[in-house]
Chains A and B, each alone.
Chain A
């Protein structure tokens, strides 16, 4: 448990170092995600990595424990933001409506693009083979 958490934190730390080092416009934890992914892939090929939290399923358990309550982690920031609703509402109710509309349009366009691209790809693969 402790070793697994330590490994996850280490990946995040390395991610932060990389992001600060090269000034990339992505969050450090996302680079940490990629590092952990590489480690998980690597342990399937390199026996040396198959030990500790990477070998006994520890990191898997720690990760699923954390992700099961991902919603909880947004609560502290959410409370701060809700206290500043006046920042937004001073510009009128319209702002809430357009945010909802934009979310709706984005959801539909993204899901439909994903599905249509997949279908076109299948059709293209079907005709080319």
Chain B
């Protein structure tokens, strides 16, 4: 045996290449972040996504682990995003009466909110003088990553910039929604959840479920509807705003 293939280093080389290590790390870091979140009574700043992400990011940096190696393990968790979206049907079904009674407010809010999300970011981005390709990549930042990247690609922008901005929007939206709504004295959990899901997609929806089930249901509906509305509106909005 050579010195590099024995001892702790060999174990590390072996473990870091199996999915087990990074899957375990993902679950444990999240469990810790979630415990902190629960201990602080779900304080917005103790957002479990935010803290899991930076802690794991630092660990990968310190161990010099490339992201694909990490994802090899973490993909088992990532895969569940699809089934979890399908699973939203259950709380939606259980709260169908509340949801059906709010069809008109939801339809108006998704149109107005969806347009606001696009117009506000495009106007602000041009105001601070960002280059056109970045402005285009920012436009769909309020919708779920897969859809947003597709939109960005169809506009000829860089989808990886979009992915970063989608994630930042999700985390920031999930952090500010509760204090903002409290400050504005908006107590209707349907409206609060709907705004969270529309603005901050799945991460906003996860936050809404932490606060209230009805808020979570409305967030899930808003997230799904906004994916549709935004993919239809972005091309039009961008042509009008970028002239």
User: Whole-angstrom distance from the CB of B65 to the nearest CB of chain A?
Assistant: 10
For chain B, the count of residues having a C-beta within 8 Å of the partner chain is 108
Q: How far is the CA of A117 from the CA of B127 in the complex (A)?
A: 31
On whether the beta carbons of B173 and A118 are closer than 8 Å, the reply is no
* Docked pose: A29 CA to B50 CA in angstroms: 24
Contact yes or no, B224 A30, CB < 8 A: yes
| B84 and A107 form a contact (CB under 8 A) | no
The answer to whether A71 touches B145, judged by C-beta atoms less than 8 angstroms apart, is no
Do residues A103 and B173 form an inter-chain contact, with CB atoms below 8 A? yes
* A27 and B147 contact, CB distance less than 8 A: yes
Q: Is the CB of A91 within 8 A of B90?
A: no
Closest Cβ–Cβ distance, residue B125 to chain A (whole Å): 6
**B92–A37 CB distance below 8 A:** yes
**In the bound complex, what is the Cα–Cα distance between A40 and B56 (angstroms)?**
38
Residues of chain B contacted by A34 (CB below 8 angstroms):
89
Known: A36-B90, A82-B167. A106 touches B113 (CB 8 A): yes
Which chain A residues lie closer than 8 Å to B205 at the CB level? Answer: 70
CB of B14 within 8 A of chain A? no
- What CA separation (Å) do A40 and B176 show in the bound complex? 34
The answer on a CB contact under 8 Å between A71 and B144 is: no
Q: A75 touching B93 by the CB < 8 A rule?
A: no
- In the complex the two chains form, what is the Cα distance from A83 to B58 in whole Å? 9
Q: How far is the CA of A40 from the CA of B164 in the complex (A)?
A: 36
Task: Give the CA-CA distance A18 to B114 in the complex, in Å.
Answer: 25
Distance in angstroms from A2 CB to nearest chain B CB is 13
- In the bound complex, residues from chain B placing their C-beta under 8 Å from that of A92 are 128, 130
Complex Cα spacing A88 to B163, Å: 10
Provide the residues of chain B in CB contact with A25, threshold 8 Å: 147, 150, 227-228, 231-232
Nearest Cβ in chain B — how far from A13, in angstroms? 9
Which of chain B's residues have a CB closer than 8 A to the CB of A59?
90
Which positions 65-122 of chain A face chain B at CB distance < 8 Å? 66-85, 87-88, 91-92, 94-96, 98-115, 117-118, 121
Q: Of all chain A residues, which has the CB nearest B121?
A: A102
1/0 per position for B174-202, CB-CB distance to A under 8 A?
00110011001010101110111011101
Judge if A60 is at the interface, Cβ distance under 8 Å. Answer: yes
Q: Which residues of B contact A (CB under 8 A)?
A: 26-27, 29-30, 34, 47-49, 52-54, 56-57, 60, 67, 70-71, 74-75, 77-78, 80-94, 96, 102, 104-106, 108-109, 112-113, 116-117, 120-121, 124-125, 127-128, 130-131, 134, 138, 141-142, 144-147, 150, 158, 160-161, 163-173, 176-177, 180-181, 184, 186, 188, 190-192, 194-196, 198-200, 202-203, 205-207, 209-210, 216, 222, 224, 227-228, 231-232
